């Protein structure tokens, strides 16, 4: 009868595989992946390498049988894991293994080809928002902020996170994988070229989404003209130049934009959850870009304060 080694009776060396529990085995294996990736100077995410190895039947057999293996079998199993790991990192499978790396780094920007997914209800409109022309964004291909030369439609991220809304971090799976947008299908965490090439194809805009609804498109254009990011940026520039003396200009602009979208939303029966798609992010939502936040009093009055000054 084989003796299990998840609970050793002696005082074995903690680095010897024969005495590791299954949890310790997985922990040591993840450490191994980090080491190999560092040695290879590879840009492949650890989770990507992990998922590729986990697909192997040999890996699954090792994990399943580990609790009942004798010391020699465990040592052989560990050596096999090392071989599988080195092979996965040096011979990357050119296919998505649903590791979630792309999903955790940010939500996708939609292209014209994705319009059908919206029309068929595969992607709910309430989970979309518009980045308008002139707004600052962070490109996935470079570090610095960029000002958009034209608008973009994006799936929203989870609050306080860069994770895509449709990424389930419990199951570590995409909730709309079968109907994921074009960018998601093009992204390859092991090779940036396909996603880079995709930036040359047409992006989806509100013009395509609301095609034929001329009144709404006219009002969107009017909102963009009266409440452009350029106007908000200019107001904050003057706030800096006047050392805070022009704060009323900023507050009035925030109030005006808020009233504009709220009034039109009610007049046109636009659900509040769809306003970020129709009109883009509100000015109040973008205030933190300039290092401030808006505090609304019990009487509805607004106060602009630097973000670092937290109230007691």
**For 68-122, how does the pLDDT look when each residue is reduced to its tens digit (9 = 90+)?**
999 999 999 999 999 999 999 999 988 888 899 999 989 999 999 999 999 999 9
Q: What's the pTM value of the predicted model, to 2 decimals?
A: 0.83
State the distance between the two ends of the chain, measured CA to CA, in whole angstroms: 66
Can you give 228-279 as a three-state secondary structure string?
Answer: CHHHHHHHHHHHHHCCCCCHHHHHHHHHHHHHHHHHHHHHCCCCHHHHHHHC
Model confidence pLDDT, tens digit, residues 209-229: 999 999 999 999 999 999 999
What was the pLDDT predicted at 15? 66
Average pLDDT over residues 273-298: 94
**Phi first, then psi: what are they for 121, rounded to 5°?**
80, 15
Secondary structure letter of residue 42 according to DSSP: -
Three-state secondary-structure class, residue 163: coil
Report d(CA 23, CA 59) in Å as an integer: 14
Q: Please say if the pLDDT value at position 312 is more than 60.
A: no
Average pLDDT over residues 41-48: 92
Model confidence pLDDT, tens digit, residues 131-161: 999 999 877 666 677 899 999 999 999 998 9
Longest Cα separation, the chain: 83
CB neighbourhood size of 56 (10 A) = 15
CB neighbourhood size of 224 (10 A) = 18
């Amino acid at each position: 009868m084989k003796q299990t080694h998840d609970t050793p009776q002696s005082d074995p060396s903690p680095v010897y595989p024969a005495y590791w529990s299954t949890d310790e085995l997985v922990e040591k294996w993840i450490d191994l992946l980090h080491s190999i990736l560092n040695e290879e100077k590879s840009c492949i995410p650890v989770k990507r390498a992990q998922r590729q190895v986990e697909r192997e039947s040999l890996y699954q057999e090792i994990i399943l049988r580990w609790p009942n293996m004798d010391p020699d079998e465990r040592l052989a199993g560990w050596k096999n894991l090392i071989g599988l790991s080195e092979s996965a990192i040096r011979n990357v499978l050119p296919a998505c293994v649903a590791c979630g790396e792309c999903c955790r780094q940010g939500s996708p920007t939609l292209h014209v080809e994705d319009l059908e997914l919206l029309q068929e209800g595969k992607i709910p409109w309430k989970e979309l928002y518009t980045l308008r022309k002139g707004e600052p964004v962070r490109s996935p291909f470079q570090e610095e902020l960029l000002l958009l030369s034209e608008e973009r439609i994006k799936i929203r991220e989870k609050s306080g996170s860069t994770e895509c809304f449709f990424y389930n971090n419990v199951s570590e799976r995409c909730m709309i994988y079968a109907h994921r947008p074009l960018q998601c299908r093009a992204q390859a965490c092991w090779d940036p070229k396909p996603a880079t090439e995709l930036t040359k194809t047409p992006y989806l805009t509100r013009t395509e989404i609301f095609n034929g609804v001329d009144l709404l498109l006219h009002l969107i254009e009017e909102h963009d003209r009266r409440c452009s990011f350029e106007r908000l940026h200019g107001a904050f520039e003057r706030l800096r130049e006047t050392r805070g003396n022009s704060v009323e200009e900023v507050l009035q602009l925030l109030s005006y934009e808020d009233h504009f979208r709220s009034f039109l939303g009610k007049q046109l029966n636009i659900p509040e959850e769809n306003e970020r798609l129709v009109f883009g992010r509100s000015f109040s939502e973008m205030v933190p870009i300039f290092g401030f936040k808006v505090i609304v009093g019990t009487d509805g009055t607004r106060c602009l304060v630097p973000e670092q000054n937290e109230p007691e």
